[in-house]
Structure 1
Amino acid sequence: MIKLAACQYHIDLLETWDAYARHLTKLCEEAAQQGAQLLLLPEYAGLVLSGQLPAEQRGDLQGSIAGIQPLLPAWRELCEGLAKRLGVYLQPGSLPVLDGDGRYRNRAWLFGPEGNLGSQDKLIMTRFEREYWHIEPGSGLRVFDTALGKLGILICYDNEFPMLANSLAEAGVDLILAPSCTDTEAGFHRVRIGAQARALENQIAVLQAPTVGLAPWSPALDENIGRAGLYVPPDYGMPANGILGESAELSPTTSQWLICELDLQQVRGLREQGQVFTRRDWPVQFAAGRLAIRRAD
């Protein structure tokens, strides 16, 4: 049994590094004190760093993205230090990172008690990211082998594409972390439905953490709505609706943790002893050619 924490992360204006560091430290300590072994924050949670920029710069989309880049080494050091000190796995959300080729990518790091375990880039960009943020997709999927089990990260929109999660599942991943950032209720439900579908199809678990709240000072994070959740296959020993845990409010006015316990061995067992075998039967249909489209006579 492992204990997971997914944050409904309220976008607050934190105008100094010290204020931000205290904020993130207190938040992580709250989850760790409740016994959480893995902490998940949402997509673009790192953009809260832009609150430290001059008002004019943080109010400019491209200016705010460029302005946080010098802060990233200290931010990574802070996150790594928290994971080590608290003895937890910390996925502190994602943020735009300027790579050596001069292009930005939406990147999520995973830190553990042993340090920095690596990162996963978002692979499929939304229209807004492509057309306004000018953020490029990353390449490839990463499997993180941890003491809790094998983890994968699919950032927000990536959860709406079945083959990404299936590739991670086939590589042995039992739990997908789904940091998300959505500015409408419909957007939140698209990601949530995707997360539940990926759990069903692959007979794995998916943990989602969203941004919430209004931030008129940030053109990137101005409106946020979402609910944290832990999704599993609806099968023997699991909730009938596949929701193992979900935060009570859709958009609280402060950051809140959803704390859930998950038995990954029980989830794995469904692949052999479940009511259905979606993980096994889905590729069988392709192999048998039953999905071929034939012209009507």
Structure 2
Amino acid sequence: MIRLAACQYAIELHETWDAYADHLRELCVEAGRSGAQLLLLPEYAGLALSGQLPPDQRSDLHGSIAGIQPLVAPWWALCEGLAKDLGVYLQPGTLPVLDADGRYRNRAWLFGPSGALGFQDKLMMTRFEREHWNIAAGQGLKVFDTALGRLGILICYDTEFPLLARRLAEQGADLLLAPSCTDTEAGYHRVRIGAQARALENQVAVLQSPTVGLAPWSPALDENIGRAGLYVPPDHGMPSDGVLAQSVMLCPEQSQWLVCDVDVDEVRRVRREGQVFTRRDWPEQVERLG
């Protein structure tokens, strides 16, 4: 049994580095006190760093991304230090990072008790990212070996594409992390339904963490709607609707943690002894399609 914490993360204005760092530290310490071994924050949670920029820059869509780049390295060090100090795995959400090719990518780092384990870039861009924000797609999917099991990361829109999760399942992933950022209920439900579908198809657990609340000072994060959840394959020994845990409120005004437990061995048992073998039978559908 492992204990997970998924944050419904309210986008708040922190105008100094110390205010932001104290905020993130207090939030992670709160989850650590619950006994959580893995902490997940949402997509673009790191963009809250833009609150430290001058008002005219943080209110500019492209200027805010460029402006936070000098803060990426200290943010990275802060997150690594928190994971080490708390003895947890920390996926602190994502933020846009400028790569050597001059393009920004939406990046999710994973930190563990011994330090950084690597990163996963978002592969599928939404219309907003592609048409207005000029965020470029990443390449490839990684599975992270941890003491909790093998983990994969699908960032928001990535959860809506079956072949991405399938690739992670083929690499042995037991748990998928789904940091998300959506500004409508429909957007939230698309990601949530995608997360549940990927749990069903691949017989894995999927943990979702969303942004919530209003941030009129940020053109990228001005409206946020979502609900944290942990989803599993609906089968013997699992909830009949596949919802192992879900936060009470759709969109709280303050950040809140959904703390929940999952038995990875039970998820694996479903793959061996379940009523259906969707993960095992995947190649058969391809064969029958000719």
Aligned counterparts of 1:136 and 1:153: Cα–Cα separation in 2: 17
1:285 is displaced (CA, Å) by 2.0
Tell me which residue corresponds to 1:121: 121
2:268 matches 1:272: no
1:254 is displaced (CA, Å) by 0.2
> Equivalent residue of 1:270, what SS?
helix
Tell me which residue corresponds to 1:56: 56
> Equivalent residue of 2:84, what SS?
helix
Aligned length: 290
Tell me which residue corresponds to 1:220: 220
> Equivalent residue of 1:48, what SS?
helix
Greater displacement, 195-204 / 278-287: 278-287
Aligned counterparts of 1:214 and 1:95: Cα–Cα separation in 2: 18
Name the amino acid aligned to 1:266.
Answer: E
Aligned counterparts of 2:231 and 2:289: Cα–Cα separation in 1: 28
> Equivalent residue of 1:233, what SS?
coil
Name the amino acid aligned to 1:188.
Answer: Y
Tell me which residue corresponds to 1:34: 34
Aligned counterparts of 1:181 and 1:255: Cα–Cα separation in 2: 14
> Equivalent residue of 2:216, what SS?
coil
After TM superposition, the structure 1 = structure 2 runs for residues 276-295 of structure 1, keeping only pairs within 5 Å, are 276-287=276-287, 290-292=288-290
Tell me which residue corresponds to 2:112: 112
Aligned counterparts of 1:93 and 1:240: Cα–Cα separation in 2: 29
Aligned counterparts of 2:199 and 2:22: Cα–Cα separation in 1: 35
Mark the structure with the bigger radius of gyration. 1
Tell me which residue corresponds to 1:175: 175
Name the amino acid aligned to 2:161.
Answer: F
| CA-to-aligned-CA distance 1:227-267 (integer Å, 9 cap, x gap) | 00000000011111000000000000000000000000000
1:28 is displaced (CA, Å) by 0.2
1:284 is displaced (CA, Å) by 1.2
2:229 matches 1:229: yes
After TM superposition, the structure 1 = structure 2 runs for residues 1-297 of structure 1, keeping only pairs within 5 Å, are 1-287=1-287, 290-292=288-290
Name the amino acid aligned to 1:271.
Answer: R
| CA-to-aligned-CA distance 1:201-225 (integer Å, 9 cap, x gap) | 0000000000000000000100000
1:21 is displaced (CA, Å) by 0.3
Name the amino acid aligned to 1:201.
Answer: E
> Equivalent residue of 1:25, what SS?
helix
Name the amino acid aligned to 2:181.
Answer: C
**Alignment gaps of 5+ in structure 1:** 293-297
Name the amino acid aligned to 2:4.
Answer: L
> Equivalent residue of 1:68, what SS?
helix
> Equivalent residue of 2:194, what SS?
helix
1:282 is displaced (CA, Å) by 2.1
Aligned counterparts of 1:255 and 1:81: Cα–Cα separation in 2: 21
> Equivalent residue of 1:64, what SS?
helix
> Equivalent residue of 2:85, what SS?
helix
Tell me the TM-score normalized by structure 2.
0.99
> Equivalent residue of 2:50, what SS?
helix
1:281 is displaced (CA, Å) by 1.5
Name the amino acid aligned to 2:115.
Answer: G
- 4+ residue stretches of structure 1 with deviation over 6 A? none
1:16 is displaced (CA, Å) by 0.4
Give the superposed CA RMSD: 0.5
> Equivalent residue of 2:108, what SS?
strand
Aligned counterparts of 1:7 and 1:37: Cα–Cα separation in 2: 14
Aligned counterparts of 2:95 and 2:239: Cα–Cα separation in 1: 33
1:280 is displaced (CA, Å) by 1.2
Tell me the TM-score normalized by structure 1.
0.97
Aligned counterparts of 2:124 and 2:226: Cα–Cα separation in 1: 20
Aligned counterparts of 1:87 and 1:127: Cα–Cα separation in 2: 38
Aligned counterparts of 1:101 and 1:246: Cα–Cα separation in 2: 40
% identical aligned pairs: 76
**Alignment gaps of 5+ in structure 2:** none
> Equivalent residue of 1:199, what SS?
helix
Aligned counterparts of 1:14 and 1:93: Cα–Cα separation in 2: 17
Name the amino acid aligned to 2:119.
Answer: S
Aligned counterparts of 2:77 and 2:95: Cα–Cα separation in 1: 15
Aligned counterparts of 2:31 and 2:4: Cα–Cα separation in 1: 9
1:291 is displaced (CA, Å) by 2.1
Name the amino acid aligned to 1:83.
Answer: A
> Equivalent residue of 1:207, what SS?
strand
